[in-house]
Structure 1
Amino acid sequence: MIRLRDQVQTRVNELDTEIRHYDSKKQARTFTVDDKQEYDALIRERGEVSQRLAELERDERREIEAGKVRTPAPGTFANERRVGGFTVRDSSVYRPDNGTEVSFLRDLYNARRGDWGAADRLQRNNREMRALTTTATDGGEFAPPGHLVELYARHAKASRVFAEVLGPNVLPAGVSSINIPRVSSGTSVAVQAAQNTALSETDLVSAQLTSGIVTIGGKQVVSLQLLNQGGIPVDQVVFDDLSREHAKQIDTQLLTGTGAGGQLKGWIFTADTGPSEVIWTDAAPTQVTFLKKVAELLNKVATQRFLAPSWIVMHPRRWFWLMAGQDTTNRPLTPPVANGTVNSAAVSSVPVAEGSAGSIYGIPVFLDANVPTNRGAGTNEDSVLAGVGGDSLFWESPLRVEAFDATYADSAGVLLRVLNFSAAIPDRQATSLGLLTGTGLVTPTF
């Protein structure tokens, strides 16, 4: 609101300067008929803009008196819901049933060009969206309405399952890197050899883990005609595709980023050759052997971290292959949970392609299609991940949605941009990085 008020105040100042120019012409007796028309138009606009400025100042005072800007806790509103890791609410300004009458992306563009109505709608939408968590406004940008965020989470591209398993933290503003301490070598305690002799002493050794801030974003240039006159909901078409690709890329970075060249440090890259990696070499893998190797993986994490893994993540192809397995009497090795779990190492819930799929040895299993399937010498192996909740850290800033016409004006184009900033430290506890790899995970046959 402060930004909009400043924009309106700037326009008032501009109008006052132009009006004073014509007042000078009046005094110099050079005031023409054409000047009179322009002068009257300026006076009318000055009255309208002054009225709008007064309204904004009144609204601002009301907010200050109401306790400035509060952020309600999730669950405060009846129309609030969780979608793909975000808390979203519906907006009365930009509704999914308004077709192309009111467009969020079109208003982003027009507000920059002095359209006070567009700016006002964006500000009203922002006030309604304050219950958002990681999609709240940042640095004066505008929050996309709830139904567009919902499209962000649910359509055909692989979504950010692993990112949600890690549980994103809000990235602090104004930092160029994230640094956390880690104890790399601990103290010692031992039996005292004899009375009045020295106790055991070993100095604690600490280290620092660091993650740079990574920018993940994309853009799309659309014609001004499509944005302003198009008969399709360009918000849903463009924002949906850009933001779904953003979700896929941030998830991929958290899985396989190298930590170099502007990338995040990913789980698989960090866990390779690590203390909790299990390499499964098998020319004829079976579902029974697979379950044994998963047990070995869980054991490796638990006996080194001294905590049981709290989740397992795998590619959908590995889970459905496991579901196809049968015992010697043709009973499924992974029965539906509705059939009971007696003597079952793994159970499946409602069939899904992504997200929570069931459990193995009582540990929840999540399916993520971004888990790579081109690893190993034959570039045909996938991997299975297991970790302890809270041991690996991931931060991200709000998703920013912006529109620009600079450099595209000569072709009547508008650039739409989606981006955010993120950081990751997967190896805060290196022994938590459970990873099952090897030839036993080649492309499964059914």
Structure 2
Amino acid sequence: MTLAQLIEQARARVAEAITARQQAQDALMALRSDPNLTEELVNERVTARDAADAEVTRRQEELAELEAEQVREEEIAALQARITPTETRLPAYDRVARVGAEERTYRPDADPNGQVFLKDVARAFVMRDFMATDRLMRHLREEQVERGEYLTRATNTGNFDGLTIPQYLTDMFAKHAKAGRPFANAIRPHVLPPEGMNVYIGRGTTGTDTGIQAAQGDAATEQNYDDTLLTIPVQTNAGQQTMSRQAVERTSGALDITMEDLFRAYGTKLDSTLINQATTGLSAVATAVTYTDASATVEEFWPKIQESLAGVETALLDQVTPGSFISVMHPRRWRWMNQALTTKFPLIQQPGLDARSGGLNYGEVYGDGFRGLLPDGTPVIVDANVPINLGAGTNEDEVYTLSRDECHLWEDPDAPFFIRAEETKAANVQILFVVYGYFAYTHQRFAQARKISGTGLITPTFTGS
């Protein structure tokens, strides 16, 4: 992830913290207008408002540090570009080598869909096209300047040449997917370490303690803090596509359409793995909350969501990050909840939500951030990678509630997907393309996630009741 992207992310977090602080202040002001208020309630709301204030300050400090780093980087770049005059006499005009502004070999204005790049890969590796090879080598030198560390890993880890995809194509492909990566985009991102096949983080297992002193001079309570090492394996997500040379050389657009689909499949598989992988996926590690109902309704389902959120909050206690709770569900479950009608209003009004509504639909398209809010203000991620073939009847889905800050995903910076083209299919007049990337993840630093499952989550019926 670039410094500019980190700054944008930090700005978004500041905005979220400011919104949370305003909601806390609004709740406090609303309480003060209540004739039946008590000092205890006022103190509770003041504490919540002050905590939101502190979070705004912390987020602002993080943003300020990143912006200061960016200013320093710009200063260094300016120093590098500075020309120091000397007393040396300039050489004759015809003895000077001049370098103008050199454009990148593959640019979004000249090759927006990557078709030229992909054809050069095929022609250079299979047809031995010298012009295509020259363009790829020029691109390789450009990548060595900008992303040398990751390029070294790409070209030195196999018995064949590796090619780094132009970054603007990676950015374009990463934003579009099949089922997509809505959940992966919502959880806590980290930069994958440049070496090793495991990521290590500490996990506290035994906390310190205090006690009430029975008599003066008695020894204070002592409980030693203990932690354990959580080892997270680095996994490889890879796919390949074999195409005929006729399709590559004679068909307009076939190659870029095929490769774009392969990139979309990469993102979908990553997201599906985070949810469905045996032993470590979200579904495997989440604590079950069973919802059994032969004729499920949204009103009857709602208490189960509150039960699961209570489990998340109890597991994390003071480790909860404000605004980090989310719910993840399949599109069919979100639409089922949207179609429900009710004459009942919640007993407890939620900050920023009309008590007469059962939640809020943002009206966003699939894969574009949060789809809306539940009646208690919990944001919803809609993800088609949530399974819908569970249970005895193979027709149940699951709904997850969790703190997204306690779900961790490590990926290579700038999403460096790589392409390889080999001659293994030459006898069949075909070309082999391979895409791969490394990642690591864990939902197990705290056992906090919950999943609602059971017969109440079979294929929904849209009755309007």
TM-score by length of 2: 0.66
Q: What is the alpha-carbon root mean square deviation over aligned residues?
A: 3.4
Which residue does the alignment assign to 1:412? 429
Deviation at 1:414, TM superposition (A): 1.5
For structure 2, the residue ranges without an aligned partner over 5 or more in a row are 9-102, 156-162, 346-351
Deviations 1:315-353 (A, max 9, x none): 110010011100149x9xxxxxx9x73432411111533
Partner of residue 319, structure 1: 334
| Offset of residue 95 of structure 1 | 3.9
| 2:418 maps to which of 401, 405, 411 | 401
Alignment of 1:143-182 (within 5 A): 143-147=165-169, 149-155=171-177, 157-182=178-203
In the alignment, the residues of structure 1 paired with residue 122 and residue 440 of structure 2 have an alpha-carbon distance, to the nearest angstrom, of 30
Asked if 1:356 is matched to 2:397, the reply is no
Are 1:230 and 2:250 matched, yes or no?
Answer: yes
Letter in 2 for 1:439: T
Distance 2:123 2:188 in 1: 36
The alpha-carbon distance between structure 1 residues 76 and 426, as it changes in their structure 2 partners (threshold 3 A), is closer
Name the aligned partner's letter for residue 454 of structure 2: G
Report 1 or 2 for greater relative contact order, CA contacts < 8 Å, sequence distance ≥ 6: 2
Structure number with the higher helix fraction is: 2
Structure 2 residue aligned with 1:347:
360
Give the corresponding residue for 1:268.
283
User: Which residue is 1:73 aligned to?
Assistant: 4
Distance 1:286 1:139 in 2: 52
CA contact (8 A) 2:418 2:434 kept: yes
- The answer to whether the 8 Å contact 1:126/1:137 transfers is no
Mapping 1:37-436, distance limit 5 Å: 73-74=4-5, 93-95=106-108, 98=111, 103-112=116-125, 113=128, 115=130, 117-121=132-136, 123-124=138-139, 127=142, 139-140=154-155, 141-147=163-169, 149-155=171-177, 157-227=178-248, 229-259=249-279, 265-271=280-286, 274=287, 277-306=288-317, 307=320, 309-328=324-343, 341-354=354-367, 355-360=369-374, 361-397=376-412, 398-431=415-448, 433-436=449-452
CA deviation string 1:205-245 (max 9, x = no partner) = 32221222211111011123332x22322442121111111
Deviation at 1:125, TM superposition (A): 8.2
Whole-angstrom CA distance in 2 between matches of 1:381 and 1:226: 42
CA distance in 1, matches of 2:276, 2:195: 27
Which digits, 9 at most, give the CA deviation of each residue in 1:376-403, with x for residues without a partner? 2222111111211321211123443323
Change (3 A) 1:325 1:101: closer
- Distance in 2 of aligned mates of 1:426 and 1:295: 21
* Counterpart residue identity of residue 258, structure 1: A
Q: Displacement, 1:440?
A: 1.4
Q: Contact (CA 8 Å) 1:190, 1:200: kept in 2 or not?
A: yes
Match status 1:442 vs 2:458: yes
Q: Retained in 2: the 8 A contact 1:93–1:125?
A: no
- Measured after TM superposition, the shift of residue 415 of structure 1 is 0.8
What are the ranges of 5 or more consecutive residues in structure 1 without an aligned counterpart? 1-69, 78-89, 260-264, 332-337
SS of residue in 1 equivalent to 2:371:
strand
Instruction: Find the aligned partners of 1:100 and 1:353 in 2 and give their Cα distance.
Output: 23
How many residues align? The count is 344
Contact 1:104 1:122 in 2 (8 A): no
Structure 1's consecutive aligned runs of 4 or more residues displaced over 6 angstroms after TM superposition are 128-132
Residue of structure 1 equivalent to 2:44:
none
**Alpha carbons 2:240, 2:435 under 8 Å: kept:** yes
3-state SS of 1:269 partner:
helix
CA distance in 1, matches of 2:439, 2:422: 27
Question: Match of 1:74, as an amino acid?
Answer: Q
State percent identity of aligned pairs.
29
**Do 1:148 and 1:240's aligned partners in 2 also have CA atoms closer than 8 Å?**
no
Tell me, what secondary structure is at the counterpart of 2:303? helix
Deviation at 1:250, TM superposition (A): 0.9
What amino acid sits opposite 1:401 in the alignment? F
Q: Which amino acid aligns with 1:429?
A: F
